[in-house]
Amino acid sequence: MKFLSSYRRIAVVCHPNADPDCLGSAYALRTAVRAASPRTEVEIVVPEGINAAASKMVESLRLEFVTSLPTECELAVFVDMPSLDQLPEIKAALHSRRTPYAIIDHHTPEKDSLEGAVFSITTRISSTCEIIYNSIPKKYLDRQSLLALLTGLIYDSRRFLIQPNSSISAAIRIIRRGTDYAAAVEMLLNDQDISERIAKLKGAARVRIYRARDWLFATSRVGSFEASVARSLVDLGADLALVASGDSGPSRVTGRLSERFQKATSLDLAESVMRPLAERFSGTGGGHPSAASAKTAAGEEEALAAALSLVSAALGLSQDELKEVSTQG
Ligand SMILES: [Mn+2]
């Protein structure tokens, strides 16, 4: 707070498709900076939209944001994203104006972005909201901010499935400050869009299944909602799911691992699959060990095949260990 209070105008920048963890962090950070340093102006910048899970939160917190970087901003704070490459236009604007930036994040750090930051907190815990809660003197957090942080924490920990010991104990501390758990869960309840449900069912219909030792991998292609489809395939029983969209290219590939598979193999989907995939097809990639994605210049079939062979290489599988399981008859 001391560092941030030394600036007059701050922009808190959210990642593309901003989720409740990102927006909850931005909201609480803005409230806290305003409380600690009334002369500091803070704006939340959402340059590339919010995701469906965050719409109710934005509505009920009356969360106001702008969509482009204010010209007078003296410091940009990136929340919940490790790399400026996710926002090329913002990156270019900061560079040309020589505006310093900070990173507050819980993903696998990206070296170049981290080294260029004037300030950073990167901790590998369940959510950025948990980092924000732990880092801010509690007198600067009002009830709404605590609710926003709890909502983001519940969302990103997948209701305490990820790093449960730390996420549960942080949630308890937030609840003890007078936040209602049910209200936070309520903010995440969302009647799922019909197009998302169609994407999930199409994703299941187009699945290709591979077996390697006792592991099952699933790949599929959809027009959108790749992350939701990949998560659904893991819920159906896949240890690893890779879902692509983008036909003949450019394409996006999103991957998810089951917790059990990630623990047993220590496969880091961000480092071993999505980053090299993006490098090979001149795109961008990153994420978490068990949830990551890449944008590539390749078509979806080529990108999926390459991702699958990166998985095989990372697991040390020989060619005849990976077999496709027929879905016919
Ligand atoms: Mn997050």
**What is the tens place of the pLDDT at every residue in 149-163?**
999 999 999 999 889
> Does residue 327 carry a pLDDT above 80?
yes
Could you list the residue range(s) of the whole structural domain that residue 201 is in?
Answer: 194-325
CA 2–ligand 1 middle distance (angstroms): 24
The 8 Å CB, 24+ separation contacts for 259-266 are 259/161, 259/162, 259/290, 261/215, 262/289, 262/290, 265/215, 265/315
Query: pTM score, two decimals?
Result: 0.76
CA 5–ligand 1 middle distance (angstroms): 24
The mean pLDDT value for 41-57 works out to 94
Domain CATH for 275: 3.10.310.40
CA 22–ligand 1 middle distance (angstroms): 6
Helix, strand, or coil here: 248? coil
CA 317–ligand 1 middle distance (angstroms): 31
Task: Specify which residues 291 forms β-bridges with.
Answer: 256
Q: Is the same domain home to 83 and 164?
A: yes
**What is the tens place of the pLDDT at every residue in 261-313?**
999 999 999 999 999 999 999 999 999 999 999 999 999 999 999 999 999 99
Final residue in a domain of this structure, among 173, 188, 203: 188
The mean pLDDT value for 245-251 works out to 92
Final residue in a domain of this structure, among 164, 188, 212: 188
Closest CA to 294 of 257, 254, 250, 256: 254
pLDDT > 90: percent of the chain: 93
CA 29–ligand 1 middle distance (angstroms): 15
CA 15–ligand 1 middle distance (angstroms): 10
Q: How many domains does the chain have?
A: 2
Find out whether 30 and 42 touch, Cβ atoms under 8 Å: yes
Question: What is the rounded distance in angstroms from the CA atom of residue 215 to the CA atom of residue 227?
Answer: 20
Question: What is the rounded distance in angstroms from the CA atom of residue 29 to the CA atom of residue 233?
Answer: 35
Q: What is the pLDDT of residue 162?
A: 87
Q: Is the same domain home to 199 and 271?
A: yes
CA 182–ligand 1 middle distance (angstroms): 21
> Does residue 328 carry a pLDDT above 90?
no
Final residue in a domain of this structure, among 145, 173, 188: 188
Q: What is the pLDDT of residue 52?
A: 85
The mean pLDDT value for 228-239 works out to 96
CA 125–ligand 1 middle distance (angstroms): 9
Question: What is the rounded distance in angstroms from the CA atom of residue 218 to the CA atom of residue 61?
Answer: 38
The mean pLDDT value for 243-270 works out to 95
Neighbours of ion ligand 1 (CB under 5 A): 21, 80, 128, 156
CA 180–ligand 1 middle distance (angstroms): 21
Q: Is the same domain home to 118 and 54?
A: yes
Q: What is the pLDDT of residue 190?
A: 75
The span from the first CA to the last CA of the chain, in angstroms, equals 62
The mean pLDDT value for 127-141 works out to 97
Neighbouring C-beta atoms of residue 115, cutoff 10 Å: 9
Listed in sequence order, the residues at least 6 apart from 19 whose beta carbon sits closer than 8 Å to its beta carbon are 50, 51, 53, 54, 80, 152, 155, 156
The average confidence (pLDDT) of the chain is 95
Listed in sequence order, the residues at least 6 apart from 73 whose beta carbon sits closer than 8 Å to its beta carbon are 9, 10, 11, 43, 99
